[in-house]
Structure 1
Amino acid sequence: MASNKKPWIPRLHLFEIDDQPWFPPFLRRHVQTGLTHAWLLRLPPLLSSSAAAQVAETLRRTLGADATRYTYVDFCAGAGGPTPEIERALNRRLRDDASSTSTTKSKSDSKSADPITSSATANGAPSYAAVADPGRDPARERQEEEKEGVRFVLTDLHPHAAEWEAACKKSDHLSYIAEPVDASDAPAGLISRHTGPGKKVFRLYNLAFHHFDDGLARAMLKNTVETSDGFGIFELQERSINSFITCFLFGLFILLIAPFYYFPYYFTSPSALFFIYVMPIVPFVLVFDGLISSLRTRTPDEVKVLFRTCGADATGWEMRSGRQQFLWPCGYMSWIICTKKEGIDQ
């Protein structure tokens, strides 16, 4: 669980280089590639799972059985970031859970079956129980939903259709909206498309919520309460000395892993290694923006204040939070998950 200790560093909404309109787009792509690697990096035995996989496990663990009822909409997807990997990891785990439950249920049924309650008699004719209660099995329906997989949708105010198209070709459970989507004013069609009986919308903000000032953050939270059923904020930094150290370490990691992780870009963008080793703009921006992101990141209590003052009725919403290590020795992912309780109408 997240610590209630108040950071000794005040939140400062300073500027990040990667956000600036004057920052060259080709360099921005290299920086965003580095950030994506931060989500996907695995270093066994120091780190057995990636930060993206940890997000998927956090969603599964925190949302419980409701995890299969949501469509997960990434409202600040950028070039894709960790969401494709989160989708794969979450659906993989849900399938494993469904398979395990199905196996356990089959063994239990085989042991408890008798001529009266079994769905068929010894001679193959339907039993009285099967004829008297021909309705659908809710547990089996839930298992079928889990096998089919939950859906993820990529959106952004500045769409990256080409990158999203490539990611979506690798999964039937991933789609995208090619038009600009404002998280503070989500299109009614986008929400209604993924809501209905047994279906809900969950918003994702991966390494994104710290970018918004208090006014915009409140507007986004208000729109979330009015149109969605939950949201998750996942950050790879926090306002702490540990986070600052991690930012510098990640800059060094980029220098070590670039020949391996940037390999696909050698042919399409040979400048990648030049701006990592010869003129190290990419590591510099990653470290600088990481430090600024740390200063921008809100604590769960600070998000709770924004949530309560966003202008929408948040009665019946529940907020949970925590932190866990994603990069040895001092890199921690912080998370906040807020959901609307069943039966609460706005």
Structure 2
Amino acid sequence: MRRWHLFEIEDQRWLPDQLRNLITDLLQYQLIALRVYEPVVPKLKELIRITNCERIIDLCSGGGGALLQIQEILAQEKQPVSIMMTDKYPNLEAFRRVRRLSNGQIDFYPESIDATSVPDNLEGIRTLFTCFHHFRPDVGRKILQDAVDKKFAIGIFEFTERKISNVIKMILFAPIIVLFQTPFVRPFKWSRLVLSYIIPLAPFIYSWDALVSHLRTYSVEELREMTPGLEREDYRFDINKLNLGNRGISITYLIGRPTSTIGNW
């Protein structure tokens, strides 16, 4: 399938925070419940080791995604790391909850952050989970360029994928997923039940955005097309896919890092 860069409702400035936060919290619930990004932890551990950097700056964090789970796994494996959540539209309520549950190991930046120009005071390994597809190729390249210019490692991970089967699944099952999972999403709010069952805006927004997310997701080849001119002697990229046949999904990833750090790719 060719890539379709359709709009996602969650990206729109006019969308009320109440609806945007419900969608991002729902995605966080799913990522944690299904342990979607657990398989990328070895990649993160290796990146932390190679760069000798134990701080992650997460861009486009949404509701926190799988960060809490990733931090817990790293801690269990004796790999300390602190994580800073950032977003263009910060979900402060969700951020505070993640900070509390992580005992402060995960913190957040309260102001809006542009992923193409990360402030100099936010130093660390940059990560983007299930969000790089939001950006057009020219903007995606600027995100990579900013990491290269400032000599920071970056890890991009996407479990969405452009496949006919995914499109069919989203059309048939996405609304049902929202109706089933909304009562379990935290924090619980009666208004969220209203927006899901009485005025079904949440199922509509989630279904449309989930469908578009799959249609927008870059392939390995398309990610590689973004890097010519960026890769140089002191910075290199690893772009590939983790095929998790037993999980029924695959994770496309792009990892970039300076080569001046100790270790092998």
TM-score by length of 2: 0.85
Structure 1 equivalent of residue 121 of structure 2: 189
Number of equivalent positions: 260
**Retained in 2: the 8 A contact 1:51–1:326?**
no
Say if 2:200 is the partner of 1:280: yes
More helix by share: 1
Q: CA deviation at 1:239?
A: 0.9
2:145 and 2:187 map into 1 onto residues whose CA distance is 41
Question: Residue 209 of structure 1: which of 132, 136, 153 is its match?
Answer: 132
| Alignment partners' CA distance in 2, 1:205 and 1:326 | 23
Q: Which has the larger radius of gyration?
A: 1
CA RMSD of aligned residues (A): 2.7
The CA distance in 2 between the partners of 1:78 and 1:327, in whole Å, is 28
1:11 alignment partner, one of 3, 8, 26: 3
Deviation at 1:251, TM superposition (A): 3.5
Q: Residues 175 and 24 of structure 1: is their aligned pair in 2 closer, same or farther, counting only changes over 3 Å?
A: closer
Cα gap change, 1:264 to 1:79, in 2 (>3 Å): closer
1:83-127 Cα offsets, whole Å, 9 max, x none, are 2222222222x22xxxxxxxxxxxxxxxxxxxxxxxxxxxxxxxx
Residue 249 (structure 1) aligns with:
173
TM-aligned CA distance change 1:284 to 1:162, over 3 Å: closer
Q: Specify the alignment match of 1:86 in structure 2.
A: 70
> Percent sequence identity over matched residues?
25
Question: What does the per-residue CA deviation read over 1:294-328, in whole Å, with 9 as the maximum and x for residues that have no partner?
Answer: 11111122112112245x74654131421344996
Contact 2:21–2:91 (CA under 8 A) maintained in structure 1: no
Q: Residues 323-338 of structure 1 correspond to what in structure 2 (within 5 A)?
A: 323-325=242-244, 330-338=248-256
Contact 2:234–2:260 (Cα < 8 Å) also in 1: no
Equivalent residue in structure 2 for 1:36, among 28, 31, 36: 28
Q: Residue 154 of structure 2 aligns to a residue in which SS?
A: strand
Matches within 5 A, 1:173-322: 173-191=105-123, 201-247=124-170, 248-259=172-183, 261-262=184-185, 264-265=187-188, 269-309=189-229, 313=232, 315-322=234-241
AA at the equivalent of 2:121: G
CA shift for structure 1 position 221: 0.8
Q: Tell me how far 1:228 sits from its aligned partner.
A: 3.5
Give the corresponding residue for 2:14.
Answer: 22
The TM-score normalised by the length of structure 1 is: 0.67
CA distance in 1, matches of 2:186, 2:128: 28
Give the Cα separation in 2 of the matches to 1:262 and 1:316: 40
Q: Please state how far the C-alpha of 1:190 moved relative to its aligned partner.
A: 2.1
Structure 1, residues 132-175: CA drift from partner, whole Å, max 9, x if none? xxxxxxxxxxxxxx4xx111111223333343233222333212
> For 1:240-268, what per-residue CA distance to the aligned partner results, in whole angstroms no more than 9, with x for missing partners?
11322342434333333333x13641xxx
Structure 2 gap ranges (5+): none
Distance 2:112 2:20 in 1: 19
